[in-house]
A and B are shown apart, each in its own frame.
Chain A
Amino acid sequence: AQSVTQPDIHITVSEGASLELRCNYSYGATPYLFWYVQSPGQGLQLLLKYFSGDTLVQGIKGFEAEFKRSQSSFNLRKPSVHWSDAAEYFCAVGLGGGSYIPTFGRGTSLIVHP
């Protein structure tokens, strides 16, 4: 079975600083990869996804993520963080091949200091 690891429970950055949230997965083939964001009191919103092709994917709100097969990673980045980016971020992995139930990481809480 696939698994997803988000090694950082909390990340604190200053507004305007760059951000990288880590995500590692365990699966033999190339899975489908997702990042979701959950603002306080809200549901999970899809930020971006990777299925195949260009390993650098662009998402909403200025986020991007890079798939690195050799490292089994799909890290989320943003060059300049805004206070409104403070939220919980979830990485998810799907197998595909007819099985579309994703496995979610435990999430990383982003705190943004002014």
Chain B
Amino acid sequence: DAGVIQSPRHEVTEMGQEVTLRCKPISGHNSLFWYRQTMMRGLELLIYFNNNVPIDDSGMPEDRFSAKMPNASFSTLKIQPSEPRDSAVYFCASSLKETIYFGEGSWLTVV
């Protein structure tokens, strides 16, 4: 079975540019999560969708961050404009019930 698929795997962009990260959850899963991982803050939950509806976005750092889930098989996390402090690994994860499964991550560097 295909796991959670994220793209791009690596992105280097200049400050001020728009960044879009993409995620395809595991087929049949009804919950989707976006996490950010940094050395300083560890693993942070940014936003959680259930049945394509955003349930909890309290972890989204600021208005520069936005996430959408237009259908059950696709989600995006957008940063506009990007800043160097956004450099991190962004993970998408999905679940059907209690157990969440992670993608390989999108490694973002903003210079």
| A→B interface (CB under 8 Å) | 32, 34, 36, 42-46, 49, 51, 90, 94, 96, 100-102, 104, 106-107
Contacts and interface: CB of A to CB of B under 8 A. Distances in A.
B56 A101 contact: yes
B40 to A, nearest CB: 11
A102 B100 contact: yes
**Majority SS at the chain B contact face:** strand
Interface string B15-56: 000000000000000010100000000110100100000001
Contact of A101 (B48, B99, B102, B104): B48
Contact of B104 (A43, A49, A100, A104): A43
Contacts, number: 38
Given A43-B91, A107-B42, A100 B97 contact: yes
How extensive is the interface on chain B, given as a class? 20 to 34
B99 A49 contact: yes
**Majority SS at the chain A contact face:** strand
Nearest to A101: B48
B102 A45 contact: yes
